Amino acid sequence: MLNLNKKILVAIDGSPASDKAAEEAVRLAAVSSSERFRSTVYAVIVLPAKDAPVLTDLYPAPQKTSQVDWEDKQRRIYYVVDKAAAEANVHLRKEVVYGEVDEALLKFAAQEECDVIVIGSTGKGRMLRALRGSVSSKVALNAPCSVYIVR
């Protein structure tokens, strides 16, 4: 039987590519906007499991979520998806997970049984992409569901 109640995961990092991905995820969810067939968008921020200490650090840095300006940063990162979801009357769940970006997204998608992952083609980690490979390509190759890469 065709299931129109979709679970759509969108990776958010505050970059222009992730903002485009957020808008696309909301558009996908808005297609089935009736009460009977309501999709949910999971906007997910992935943070490092722990920051690597620097030799000059006497004390370990606090986690990003415990820093004083975290609420403001989070509000800015979620701004586009919040606005788009409100305008389209789409159910939105905001999540923060920890770990390597590709692994954390894949784990979250499997746990929540997501139907599609929407991800930008490039995010804020352009330097790491050159060293370790693209997060979007790793997600596309290993995802348990469909992946929509937005340019």
| Domain parsing of the chain, residue ranges | 9-150
- E-state strands within the chain: 7-11, 40-47, 91-98, 116-120, 146-150
Q: Which two tokens stand for residue 105?
A: 């997204």
Instruction: Answer whether 25's CB lies under 8 Å from 41's CB.
Output: yes
pLDDT, tens digit (0-9, with 9 covering 90-100), for 91-147? 999 999 999 999 999 999 999 999 999 999 876 555 555 555 688 889 999 999 999
pLDDT, tens digit (0-9, with 9 covering 90-100), for 34-66? 566 789 999 999 998 865 555 555 555 555 555
Instruction: Answer whether 136's CB lies under 8 Å from 121's CB.
Output: yes
Dmax over CA atoms of the chain, in Å, equals 59
What is the rounded CA–CA span in Å between residue 99 and residue 101?
6
pLDDT at position 38 = 82
pLDDT at position 1 = 40
CATH (residue range 9-150) = 3.40.50.620
* Whole-structure pTM value: 0.82
